[in-house]
């Protein structure tokens, strides 16, 4: 289908206000700003400067994208997802809280240890008891090691569409995703959820995100979050006529907004099929980046 920028919607699931992002460092329903601080190991002043640069990049590119006729939905929420304006293509820029077990995800170490103790056939030998000062750290390390176990989710009896129809070798991120779901099903409220997509109004499971997209929408969906192949597969399973883009590895949100602007500029100059234009631009960039 021939597509122009006016046929496209860009949804941004995080704030482009650095002060707002700083305030979310203490919010239990947000992870984006925390992840930037975790990954950069920055103090608050350095973090604020980094967020100011990041949001400044977004604001300038959003203005240019809007000028091309794209509908830009900032501060994108679950309600916005359920009430998408008419469009031929949807791009969602958002944060993904990964499968990795974070120290703060361990809400009740005692309950988790009890569950492990009572299911040694599932978890293996119980590690030697650690001093109280290192107890949570030891548990945290053990849980993250389990995420790499290619058979743990099967031993745990996790039942999902993926596990029931597994016809291919799953990438590591998928295995970690399934193992994280298995851990959460065992530990319940003692372990905070991971593998969540963050929109402006909070964190949502992959299934919740997929359920928000109107079933009538069958255009291309560019899911611009880290490890988005997980969401991609679920989106296409629910509506096979959709074409969803996804990546296996972490995604640079800085690069993505610039890429999207370039894609819209390309479609403004030469309207064409969205998917064709997308891969033409991607191929061109890869060639230019080759040494």
Q: Which domain holds residue 68?
A: 2-98+196-289
Check whether residue 93 and residue 13 sit in a common domain.
Answer: yes
* pLDDT on residue 129: 59
Check whether residue 285 and residue 254 sit in a common domain.
Answer: yes
Q: Which of 190, 208, 230 is the last residue of a domain?
A: 190
Q: Which of 157, 190, 223 is the last residue of a domain?
A: 190
Q: Is pLDDT above 60 for 271?
A: yes
Residue 97 CB-density burial (10 A; 0-12 exposed, 13-18 middle, 19+ buried): buried
21-76: pLDDT as tens digits: 999 999 989 999 999 998 877 788 899 999 999 999 999 999 999 999 999 999 99
Q: DSSP H helical segments within the chain, as ranges?
A: 18-23, 32-40, 44-67, 78-82, 109-118, 120-123, 132-146, 152-155, 161-164, 172-187, 206-212, 229-238, 253-269, 274-289
Check whether residue 89 and residue 210 sit in a common domain.
Answer: yes
Check whether residue 108 and residue 244 sit in a common domain.
Answer: no
Check whether residue 77 and residue 31 sit in a common domain.
Answer: yes
286: number of Cβ within 10 Å: 9
Q: Is pLDDT above 80 for 227?
A: no
Q: Is pLDDT above 90 for 237?
A: no
Check whether residue 249 and residue 270 sit in a common domain.
Answer: yes
Check whether residue 61 and residue 200 sit in a common domain.
Answer: yes
Check whether residue 148 and residue 228 sit in a common domain.
Answer: no
Question: Which of 130, 146, 148, 139 has the alpha carbon at shortest distance from 105?
Answer: 139
Check whether residue 284 and residue 220 sit in a common domain.
Answer: yes
158: number of Cβ within 10 Å: 19
* pLDDT on residue 287: 79
Indicate the helix (H) or strand (E) that contains 12: strand 8-12
Answer yes or no: pTM beyond 0.85: yes
Q: Which of 161, 190, 219 is the last residue of a domain?
A: 190
Domain count, the chain: 2
* pLDDT on residue 163: 58
82-135: pLDDT as tens digits: 999 999 999 999 999 999 999 889 999 889 988 988 888 888 765 555 556 577
CATH number at residue 285: 3.40.50
280-291: pLDDT as tens digits: 998 998 877 666
Backbone phi, then psi, for 280, in 5-degree steps?
-65, -45
* pLDDT on residue 135: 72
Check whether residue 234 and residue 269 sit in a common domain.
Answer: yes
Check whether residue 28 and residue 153 sit in a common domain.
Answer: no
Determine the Cα–Cα distance for residues 259 and 249; give it in Å rounded to an integer.
Answer: 17
Q: In the chain, pLDDT over 70 holds for what percent of residues? A: 91
* pLDDT on residue 40: 74
Check whether residue 267 and residue 216 sit in a common domain.
Answer: yes
């Amino acid at each position: 289908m021939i597509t122009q920028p006016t046929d496209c919607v860009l949804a941004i699931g995080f704030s482009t206000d650095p002060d707002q992002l700083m305030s979310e460092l203490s919010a239990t329903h947000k992870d984006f700003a925390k992840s930037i601080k975790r990954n950069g190991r920055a103090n608050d002043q350095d973090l604020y400067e980094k967020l100011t640069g990041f949001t400044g990049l977004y604001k300038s590119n959003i203005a240019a994208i809007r000028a091309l006729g794209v509908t830009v939905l900032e501060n994108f929420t679950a309600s916005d997802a359920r009430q998408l304006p008419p469009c031929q293509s949807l791009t969602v820029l958002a944060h993904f809280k990964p499968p990795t077990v974070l120290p703060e995800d361990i809400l009740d170490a005692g309950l988790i240890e009890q569950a492990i103790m009572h299911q040694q056939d599932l978890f293996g030998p119980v590690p030697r008891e650690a001093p109280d000062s290192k107890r949570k750290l030891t548990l945290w390390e053990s849980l993250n090691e389990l995420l790499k176990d290619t058979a743990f989710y099967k031993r745990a009896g996790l039942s999902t569409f993926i596990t029931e129809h597994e016809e291919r070798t799953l990438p590591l991120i998928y295995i970690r995703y399934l193992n994280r779901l298995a851990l959460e099903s065992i530990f319940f409220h003692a372990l905070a959820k991971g593998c969540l997509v963050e929109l402006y109004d909070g964190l949502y499971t992959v299934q919740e995100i997929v359920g928000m997209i109107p079933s009538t929408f069958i255009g291309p969906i560019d899911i611009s979050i880290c490890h988005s192949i997980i969401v991609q597969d679920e989106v296409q399973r629910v509506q096979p006529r959709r074409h969803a883009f996804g990546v296996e590895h972490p995604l640079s949100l800085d690069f993505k907004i610039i890429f999207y602007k370039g894609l819209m500029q390309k479609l403004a100059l030469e309207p064409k099929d969205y998917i064709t234009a997308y891969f033409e631009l991607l191929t061109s960039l890869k060639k230019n980046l080759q040494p």
